[in-house]
A and B are shown apart, each in its own frame.
Chain A
Amino acid sequence: MIFKDLVIIGGGPAGLSAAKIAAEAGVSCLIIERDPFLGGQLIKQTHMFFGSEKQYAKTRGLDIAKILIDDCLKHQDLIEIMTSTTVVGLYKDKVITTLHDDTYNKIKAKSIIVSTGASERFFAFENNDLPGVYGAGAVQTLMNVYGVKPADKVIMVGSGNIGLIVSYQLHQAGVKVLKVIEAASNIGGYKVHASKIRRIGIPIETRKTIKRAIGKDKVEQVEIVSLDDDWNIVDNSSEIIDVDAVCISVGLIPQRNLLSMIDIKTKFIKELGGIVPIINEDHQTSDKDVYVCGDVSGVEEASSAIVEGYYTGLIAARNLGKEHQDFKTLNIDYKNQLLNLRSGPFGKKTLKGLEIMKEDANVK
């Protein structure tokens, strides 16, 4: 058994930021990451981020990942990193079981920060299990991390920011995006992203959905239909299109599976992406030594995951008896940064979700 003060599960933007601040405060921590490398989903973001300078706006996601990783490497005396290591068990006495290659290990922590992020939502249509039906994030990983072209001709289902950004990146990788379809009557993502892909000639068609994928061993065609204002299929609106992949970008779900192993209290809050752990202002769950930050506590953007990570690292360190020398200033600064990030039209949804959360947040 290995003993650690603070174990951080997930080495994405939230986890890396939490480790940096906790180490600055003098806490020894361990980051456990399932992938062979750190950075989470930032490593495949080739576009520049919004927000303010404090969250590295105008920097490409993959470069932000490098900054966050370097910040952690500066504290090598305090931050231990395990990559290609999956947490497969979490117990109420803060024992964590990890799997690395074929070896199981047990780690006992005083506090745990769960920053496991989110997973891609899926949805029902005929033949949705055929090879070639991919999550939009999956094709992004294939292209931007491994340099593998996911397909030649695709359609994108869903016009949120991920759908729009990935459509543009598919185009950059030499993939023909035939169209983006959106079941709602409005485009889900930012206008700036939508305009960008329209300028390169990719149409965005609203009130349309995919009815089925067609193919024997892999996707060869898709059937697209129009929807009326009551979400019913419009007669004779069917269109069959030749494709070799379908990209699904219909949202993200908080990845909270580990938390259910220790009976953490959760609640369904649709504004935050689904079932989320109930947390207090300090990002503590119903087990006060288990914290969450980033998408696992509500789906947002990497910028807010970074700030939530800093904030949670700051609080977890203080509660372990190591108060950061700039605790007061940073505490206020992070809260203000989160308020700023959530001040736009998309942030309203998160703020509403957090209000709903507060009704249950008298967990101490």
Chain B
Amino acid sequence: MRIKEHPILTFPEKKKIWFTFNGQKVFGFSGDTIAAALHALGVMTLSHSLEMKRPRGFYCAIGNCASCNMIVDGIPNVRTCVVSLKEGMVVKTQTNKGDLNDI
């Protein structure tokens, strides 16, 4: 969900950026990070824990904690909270440490 009214900040309409999330075509806006765009779409689970496969969302949103690592354009362990969204990106939920065979 996007903030529409704010007493201090303004959020002018920006260019739509289309990307794929787990096979589904969705969009965010220019200036979004991948994680911000997904959160605005209501997606909270970005990865799964390695052993128990428990769902993980982001925690820090500034590139420290690795909780938001996803597979982006075939590359695993991308910190989606600091990587800007680009047209046509292919984003997938990550469930392992990242495997060379997945690339």
> Which of A's residues lie within 8 Å of B, judged by CB?
34-36, 41, 46, 60, 84, 86, 102, 119-120, 122, 129-135, 137-139, 141-150, 172-174, 217-218, 255
- The reply to whether B1 and A141 contact each other, CB–CB distance below 8 Å, is no
Rounded to whole Å, the gap between the CB of A193 and the closest CB of chain B is 16
Give chain A residues whose Cβ lies under 8 Å from the Cβ of B46: 131
Could you tell me the dominant secondary structure of chain A's interface residues? Answer: loop
B64 CB within 8 Å of chain A: yes
Interface size for B (C-beta < 8 A) is 36
Would you call B44 and A131 a contact (CB within 8 A)? yes
For the A-B complex with A131-B45, A134-B61 known, give 9 more contacts whose Cβ atoms are closer than 8 Å: A60-B8, A84-B83, A84-B84, A130-B54, A130-B55, A138-B60, A138-B61, A146-B33, A146-B36
**Could you tell me if A146 and B45 are in contact, using CB atoms closer than 8 angstroms?**
no
Tell me if B100 is interfacial: C-beta within 8 Å of chain A: no
Within 8 A of A (CB), among B7-60: 7-9, 11, 31-33, 36, 39-40, 44-46, 49, 54-60
Bound-complex Cα distance A34 to B83 (A): 9
Q: Are A119 and B64 in contact (CB under 8 A)?
A: yes
In the bound complex, residues from chain A placing their C-beta under 8 Å from that of B63 are 34-35, 86
Alpha-carbon distance between A173 and B33 when the two chains are bound, in angstroms: 19
Contact B82 A132 (CB under 8 A): no
A147–B45 CA distance with the chains assembled, in angstroms: 19
Q: Which residues of B contact A86 (CB under 8 A)?
A: 63
The answer to whether B62 touches A132, judged by C-beta atoms less than 8 angstroms apart, is no
Q: How far is the CB of B6 from chain A (nearest CB, A)?
A: 6
CA of A94 to CA of B22, assembled, Å? 42
Q: Determine how close the nearest CB of chain B comes to the CB of A140; give it in whole angstroms.
A: 8
Asked whether B84 lies within 8 Å of A147 as measured between CB atoms, the reply is no
* Contact in complex: A102, B44 (CB < 8 Å): no
B36 x A35 contact (CB < 8 A): no
State the Cβ distance, A315 to closest chain B Cβ, in Å: 28
